[in-house]
């Protein structure tokens, strides 16, 4: 169930990111919504969840962007894993 | 614990490596043949379309109903603007008409050899028995009684009564007491054009039944009356009938639209001025 929710959240975030600019003109905000979802999932689920969330979000974003598939995935996976590790370390030390 | 961390490390490495491999594979494949991207893009575009349609529907409800609150005020403001613009347009049209009229008058003044004085119609007599109007020129401008008044397209009438220093009364040719010496332009048959009571037409008297007069013939001033200069158009023959006595019954339609006169020319008759000064 958690996996389904996470996938749905990522798909929704990518859709909002690509479609919302045409409707609500969010260009002045310039937020990477899928990245926010990736970071949040990594903070709550750890590095593995962050890795897969980053991979999926980046993959979908690359598909929509028309560029090379994998570039965003690589970046977001790395950010997801790093955030997951940092979250674990902070929670342990804090 | 170490094994778990090691396992995560391998997994991360594998995923990142697969990304790099994925990127490197695509570098050598042209965009047209990128099946993965085509399929994935189509699938996501469908979701995108649904989302955009929903968002557009919400947006249209917002712009169509909620933001209509200010429309009533805006509508009133726009209506006011339109009314003002229409008023301005009418003023501009009136100015344009006046300019055209003055332009025609100027052309006539420059083309004729006679000495004329431009005048503006400032009042119209509304009584049906007397057809007169007032112009803004009087004795101060050299205007005297019986001076002819003409328009670009034909004869208007003459100055009657005693002109004031800044204004003069003009009797129109269609007045029942007005008369002018006239000629049928084509045949040079002479006669007298007079106003017809209660009508906007003129009657041409004293043209012999023997003369050839046809409908449409131009009627011009003969200059024999000492008021109107020779050769100016009065009108065209509208109806001609053989009279019971010696003369034809001829109805003439004036060329001047007496209802829409704004600017006219007063013919400064130098001989007449000299005559009047000699009498005094």
Q: In which residue are the tokens 């009418």 written?
A: B90
DSSP 8-state code for residue B229: P
Contacts of A47 in chain B (CB under 8 A): 8, 12
pLDDT at B70 over 70: yes
Question: Would you list the DSSP string of B218-247?
Answer: EEEE-STTSSSPTT-EEEEEEEEE--SSSB
Note the helical H segments in B112-164: none
Average pLDDT value for chain B: 82
pLDDT recorded at residue A59: 87
- Whole-prediction pTM: 0.49
Contacts of A19 in chain B (CB under 8 A): 48, 51-52, 55
- Are B126 and B259 in contact by the 8 Å Cβ rule? The answer is no
**Which of B7, B8, B19 would you mutate first to test chain A, the one with the most A CBs within 10 A?**
B19
pLDDT recorded at residue B191: 93
Cα(B199)–Cα(B173) distance, integer angstroms: 11
Question: In chain A, which residue's Cα lies nearest the Cα of B48?
Answer: A15
Whole-angstrom Cα Rg for chain A: 14
pLDDT in tens, B11-51: 888 988 888 888 888 776 655 556 666 676 677 767 767 77
Question: In chain B, which residue's Cα lies nearest the Cα of A46?
Answer: B8
Length of chain A: 94
Mark B5-32 as b/e (b = at least 16 C-beta within 10 Å). Answer: eeebeeebeebbeebeebbeebeeeeee
Question: In chain A, which residue's Cα lies nearest the Cα of B22?
Answer: A70
Contacts by B22-25, CB closer than 8 A, 24 or more apart: B22/A69, B22/A70, B22/A73, B23/A68, B23/A69, B23/A70, B23/A71, B23/A74
Contacts of A66 in chain B (CB under 8 A): 37, 41
Confidence of residue A87 (pLDDT cuts 50, 70, 90): confident
Q: CB distance A23–B55 less than 8 Å?
A: yes
Contacts of B26 in chain A (CB under 8 A): 68-70
The better pLDDT of the pair B61, B212 is held by: B212
Residue B125, H or E segment: none
The residue-averaged pLDDT of B89-105 equals: 83
Distance set, CA B145 to CA A88, B114, B139, B161 (Å)? 116, 17, 9, 6
A41–chain B nearest CA distance, Å: 16
pLDDT in tens, A55-68: 999 888 887 776 67
Contacts of B11 in chain A (CB under 8 A): 48, 51
DSSP 8-state code for residue B256: S
Confidence of residue B5 (pLDDT cuts 50, 70, 90): confident
Distance of CA B122 to the CA centre of its chain: 21
pLDDT in tens, B144-194: 888 999 988 889 999 988 888 888 889 999 888 899 999 998 888 999 999
Cα(B103)–Cα(B120) distance, integer angstroms: 13
Q: In which residue are the tokens 């995923």 written?
A: B15
B73–chain A nearest CA distance, Å: 26
The better pLDDT of the pair B87, B246 is held by: B246
The minimal CB distance from B23 to the residues A15, A20, A68 is found for: A68
pLDDT recorded at residue A54: 93
A14–chain B nearest CA distance, Å: 9
Q: CB distance A66–B41 less than 8 Å?
A: yes
pLDDT recorded at residue B280: 45
pLDDT recorded at residue B274: 54
Distance set, CA A93 to CA A50, A84, A90, B216 (Å)? 20, 14, 5, 116
pLDDT at A18 over 90: no
pLDDT at A20 over 70: no
The minimal CB distance from B22 to the residues A11, A18, A69 is found for: A69
Contacts of A73 in chain B (CB under 8 A): 19, 22
Q: CB distance B26–A47 less than 8 Å?
A: no
Contacts of B19 in chain A (CB under 8 A): 55, 58, 70, 73-74, 77
Specify the range with the lowest mean pLDDT, choosing from A19-33, B118-132, B179-193, B233-247.
A19-33
């Amino acid at each position: 169930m958690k996996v389904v929710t996470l996938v749905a959240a990522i798909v929704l975030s990518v859709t909002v990111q690509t479609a919302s600019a045409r409707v609500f003109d969010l260009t002045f905000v310039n937020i990477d919504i899928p990245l926010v979802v990736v970071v949040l999932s990594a903070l709550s689920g750890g590095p593995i969840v962050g890795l897969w969330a980053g991979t999926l979000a980046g993959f979908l974003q690359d598909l929509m962007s028309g560029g090379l598939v994998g570039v965003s995935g690589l970046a977001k996976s790395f950010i997801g894993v790093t955030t997951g590790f940092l979250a674990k370390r902070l929670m342990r030390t804090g | 614990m170490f094994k778990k961390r090691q396992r995560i490390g391998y997994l991360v490495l594998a995923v990142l490596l697969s990304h790099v491999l994925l990127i490197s594979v695509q570098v050598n494949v042209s965009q047209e043949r990128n099946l993965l991207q085509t399929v994935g893009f189509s699938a996501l575009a469908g979701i995108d379309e649904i989302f955009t349609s929903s968002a557009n529907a919400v947006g249209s409800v917002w712009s169509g109903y909620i933001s209509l609150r200010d429309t009533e005020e805006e509508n009133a403001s726009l209506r006011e603007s339109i009314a003002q613009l229409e008023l301005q347009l009418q003023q501009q049209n009136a100015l344009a008409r006046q300019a055209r009229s003055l332009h025609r008058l100027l052309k006539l003044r420059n083309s004729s050899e006679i000495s004329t004085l431009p005048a503006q119609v400032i009042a119209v007599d509304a009584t049906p028995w007397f057809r007169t109007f007032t112009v803004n020129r009087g004795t101060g401008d050299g205007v005297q009684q019986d001076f002819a008044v003409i328009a670009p397209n034909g004869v208007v009438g003459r100055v009657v009564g005693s002109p004031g220093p800044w204004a003069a009364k003009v009797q129109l040719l269609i007045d029942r007491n007005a008369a002018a010496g006239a000629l049928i332009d084509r045949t040079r048959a002479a006669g007298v054009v007079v106003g017809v009571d209660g009508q906007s037409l003129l009657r041409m008297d004293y043209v012999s039944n023997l003369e050839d007069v046809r409908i449409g013939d131009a009627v011009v001033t003969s200059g024999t009356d000492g008021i109107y200069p020779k050769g100016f158009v009065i009108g065209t023959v509208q109806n001609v009938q053989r009279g019971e006595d010696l003369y034809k019954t001829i109805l003439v339609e004036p060329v001047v639209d007496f209802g829409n006169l704004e600017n006219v020319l007063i013919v400064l008759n130098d001989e007449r001025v000299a005559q009047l000064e000699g009498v005094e």
